[in-house]
């Protein structure tokens, strides 16, 4: 129980009035930043970083990780309220969160997602405290072939999301791949489609998300003259605290989401995003009533939210044990650690153990503060939306453009958002799913790179995917899923035919 001893030392360090206030402010700041479309964990940490230079190291780290966790709580708010996910891991929250909002159960959606976020975060933290050294030892055995297989597993969730619109989903997946090609390719050294300097790093997928979901939704609502009727402002607790029955209903989905989030969140690049997609689709698959998914199923809301938050401590594991950042947010944390005079790497826990444990204690405290404050904030968020529902379209549109500007503080991403807004409108009108498009934009470059790296490693032999046990294991899982879905499809069709006869 050495871990517990260390953690208690961390808690002693953290429990000063100043530190608690700092964590509180960081959490609230993170929640607001995360709620704004376009601003995610990276932006939240980057905005606070320059303010931390005068602070003691532990306080500074508490502020940063508090706001990091806060952005994960915040991302769900706009996803549920206005169908605009702030970042890729929040996309799956829209799937069932926004339908709940339109059914007048937005408060409940926020309440449920806050609780499952808390559980997910807490689960991830437990793994971080007790399992970090072991997990980091396992994770270094993951090379390009294993990552490639995981990307394929992630992409295969598209078939499950697509339902009966398989062809349209496939079309969107290829479109996403085409978008993902743009930008510099470190494997070949070429820069593709670099017609404009801003395209050198590729098209920012956050801008694509804001356009497809935010602006697309606004345009669609204007055309259909949809008036949301969300009712009058009210402050009834029952509207946002889930009942015992509902809590029971989300217990298993939340726990499954937490496990998936922690395990997959450790992966660099797209861990959090893949985790939310896998958590959602596995719930849909496991459910006896999959038809409810996409129409406001609370399990479909709880699982990805738990996965999303569980991925935060997950991404910290490679950072503090190996000095390797697993996500955009942890990449900036890495820079911060170096600026504070720490050396992230295998010796960090040995040389600066107390500071790391204080940071973890701060994260645990932040998770509790965030649960409480997010539940308290629900009536405010809901009632703001209810009050401005008549003017919601222009407000959403301006928030989206503001978010687009803040991605790089330039006009370029505003154009990207507007173009994808029109595309998103067309997709909604003709019922093309947006999820597969975003997933493949995020995963396409990674899939491509891992594939080529694998073949380079094997010096040209395709057998590398079969000769490595972990890679082979994931391949078998993918094949089993594929075979099962095909068999299921045939059975359903056969049943229908029997019924028709």
Partner 1 sequence: MKKLLLLIFILTLIIVGCAQEPASQPSEEEPAVEAEVEEEEEPAEESSFPERPIEFVASYAPGGGHDTLMRTMLKIIQDEGISDASINVVNKPGGSGAVGMAYVNGHAGDGHYLMAATSSLITTPLTSDVGLTFRDLTPIARLGIDPELLLVNAESDYETLDDLINAGKVLNIGGTSTGGIEHIAAIKLQIIAGVDINYIPYQGDGEVVAALMGNQIDMVFTNPNSAIDYIKSGDFRPIAITTEERVDLMPDIPTFKELGYDIVVNIYRGVMAPGGVSDEVVAYYTNMIEELVATEEWQKDYIERNLIVEGYLPGEEFGEYLEEVYLLYEETLTELGLIK
Q: Pick the piece of the chain touching partner 1 (CB under 8 A) from 102-110, 142-150, 286-294, 370-378.
A: 142-150
- Separation of CA 397 from chain center: 22
Q: Which of 197, 462, 497, 499 binds partner 1 (CB under 8 A)?
A: 197
Taking the complex as a whole, the smallest distance from the CB of residue 71 to partner 1 amounts, in Å, to: 13
Pick the closer one to partner 1 by CB: 160 or 270: 270
Pick the closer one to partner 1 by CB: 45 or 209: 45
CA distance 407 to 86: 11
Q: Which of residues 20-59 bind partner 1 (CB under 8 A)?
A: 29, 32-33, 36, 39, 42, 45-47, 49-51, 53
Taking the complex as a whole, the smallest distance from the CB of residue 2 to partner 1 amounts, in Å, to: 19
Residues 6+ apart with CB under 8 A from 233: 382, 383, 386, 387
Residues 6+ apart with CB under 8 A from 319: 325, 326, 330, 333, 334, 344
CB 76 within 8 A of CB 110: yes
User: In DSSP terms, which residues pair with 191 in a beta bridge?
Assistant: 184
Taking the complex as a whole, the smallest distance from the CB of residue 443 to partner 1 amounts, in Å, to: 15
108 binds partner 1 (CB under 8 A): no
387 binds partner 1 (CB under 8 A): yes
User: In DSSP terms, which residues pair with 184 in a beta bridge?
Assistant: 191
CA distance 158 to 162: 6
235 binds partner 1 (CB under 8 A): no
Pick the closer one to partner 1 by CB: 64 or 439: 64
CB 94 within 8 A of CB 37: no
Q: Which of 206, 267, 333, 443 binds partner 1 (CB under 8 A)?
A: 333
CA distance 369 to 373: 6
CA distance 108 to 104: 9
406 binds partner 1 (CB under 8 A): yes
230 binds partner 1 (CB under 8 A): no
Build a one-symbol-per-residue string for 275-304: x at contacts with partner 1 by CB under 8 A, - elsewhere: ------------------------------
CA distance 244 to 311: 27
Pick the closer one to partner 1 by CB: 233 or 426: 233
Closest by Cα among 58, 354, 108 to 245: 108
96 binds partner 1 (CB under 8 A): no
Q: Which of 21, 372, 384, 411 binds partner 1 (CB under 8 A)?
A: 384
Pick the closer one to partner 1 by CB: 279 or 333: 333
Q: Which of 415, 453, 470, 478 binds partner 1 (CB under 8 A)?
A: 453
Q: Pick the piece of the chain touching partner 1 (CB under 8 A) from 104-112, 121-129, 184-192, 239-247.
A: 184-192
323 binds partner 1 (CB under 8 A): yes
188 binds partner 1 (CB under 8 A): yes
Give the gyration radius of the chain's Cα atoms: 22
141 binds partner 1 (CB under 8 A): yes
Q: Which of 166, 178, 286, 338 binds partner 1 (CB under 8 A)?
A: 338
Pick the closer one to partner 1 by CB: 247 or 457: 457
Residues 6+ apart with CB under 8 A from 98: 79, 80, 82, 83
What single string gives the DSSP state of each residue in 412-467? HHHHHHHHHHHHHHHHHHTT--SHHHHHHHHHHHHHHHHHHHHHHHTTT-TTHHHH
Structure-token match 């450790």, residue found: 266
DSSP state, residue 242: P
Closest by Cα among 321, 328, 324 to 46: 328
Build a one-symbol-per-residue string for 342-381: x at contacts with partner 1 by CB under 8 A, - elsewhere: -x-xxxx---------------------------------
CB 69 within 8 A of CB 121: yes
210 binds partner 1 (CB under 8 A): no
Q: How far apart are the first and last CA of the chain?
A: 65
Binding-site residue total for partner 1 (CB under 8 A)? 69
Q: Which class for 229: exposed (0-12), middle (13-18), buried (19 or more C-beta within 10 A)? A: exposed
Pick the closer one to partner 1 by CB: 191 or 368: 191
Pick the closer one to partner 1 by CB: 89 or 145: 145
Q: Which of 104, 268, 290, 353 binds partner 1 (CB under 8 A)?
A: 268
Pick the closer one to partner 1 by CB: 52 or 282: 52
Question: Which residues would be at the binding site for partner 1 (CB under 8 A)?
Answer: 29, 32-33, 36, 39, 42, 45-47, 49-51, 53, 139-144, 184, 186-191, 194, 197-201, 233, 268, 318, 322-325, 331-336, 338-339, 341, 343, 345-348, 384, 387-388, 395, 399, 402-403, 406, 408-410, 449, 453, 456-457, 459
């Amino acid at each position: 129980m050495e871990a517990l001893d260390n953690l208690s030392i961390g808690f002693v360090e953290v429990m000063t009035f100043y530190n608690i206030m700092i964590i509180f402010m960081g959490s609230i700041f993170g929640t607001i930043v995360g709620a704004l479309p376009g601003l995610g964990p990276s932006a939240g940490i980057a905005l606070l970083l320059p303010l931390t230079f005068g602070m003691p190291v532990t306080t500074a780290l508490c502020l940063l990780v508090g706001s990091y966790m806060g952005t994960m709580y915040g991302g769900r708010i706009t996803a549920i309220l206005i169908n605009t996910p702030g970042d890729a891991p929040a996309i799956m929250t829209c799937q069932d969160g926004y339908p709940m909002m339109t059914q007048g159960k937005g408060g409940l959606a926020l309440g449920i997602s806050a609780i499952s976020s808390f559980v997910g975060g807490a689960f991830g933290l437990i793994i971080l405290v007790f399992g970090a050294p072991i997990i980091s030892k396992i994770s270094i055995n993951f090379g390009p072939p294993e990552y490639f297989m995981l990307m394929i597993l992630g992409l295969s969730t598209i078939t499950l999301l697509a339902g009966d619109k398989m062809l349209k989903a496939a079309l969107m997946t290829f479109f996403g791949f085409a978008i993902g090609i743009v930008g510099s390719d470190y494997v070949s050294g070429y820069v593709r489609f670099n017609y404009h300097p801003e395209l050198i790093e590729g098209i920012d997928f956050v801008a694509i998300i804001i356009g497809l979901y935010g602006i697309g939704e606004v345009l669609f609502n204007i055309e259909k003259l949809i008036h949301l009727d969300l009712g009058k402002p009210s402050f009834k607790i029952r509207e946002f605290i889930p009942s015992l029955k509902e809590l029971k209903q989300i217990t298993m989905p939340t726990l499954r989401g937490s496990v998936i989030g922690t395990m997959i969140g450790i992966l660099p690049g797209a861990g959090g995003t893949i985790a939310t997609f896998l958590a959602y689709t596995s719930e849909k698959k496991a459910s006896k009533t999959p038809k409810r998914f996409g129409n406001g199923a609370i399990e479909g809301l709880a699982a990805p939210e738990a996965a999303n938050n569980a991925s935060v401590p997950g991404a910290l594991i490679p950072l503090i044990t190996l000095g390797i950042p697993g996500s955009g947010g942890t990449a900036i944390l890495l820079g911060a650690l170096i600026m504070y005079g720490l050396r992230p790497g295998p010796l960090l826990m040995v040389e600066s153990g107390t500071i790391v444990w204080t940071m973890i204690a701060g994260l645990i405290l932040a998770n509790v503060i965030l649960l409480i404050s997010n539940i308290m904030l629900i009536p405010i968020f809901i009632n703001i939306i209810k009050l401005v529902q008549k003017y919601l379209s222009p407000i959403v549109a301006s928030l989206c453009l503001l978010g687009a500007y803040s991605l790089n503080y330039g006009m370029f991403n505003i154009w990207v958002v507007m173009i994808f807004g029109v595309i998103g409108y067309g997709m909604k009108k003709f019922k093309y799913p947006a999820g597969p498009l975003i997933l493949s934009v995020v995963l396409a470059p990674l899939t491509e790179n891992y594939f080529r790296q694998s073949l380079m490693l094997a010096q040209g032999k395709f057998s590398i995917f079969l000769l490595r046990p972990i890679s082979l294991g994931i391949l078998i899982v993918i094949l089993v899923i594929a075979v099962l879905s095909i068999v299921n499809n045939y059975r359903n069709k056969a049943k229908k035919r029997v019924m028709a006869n």
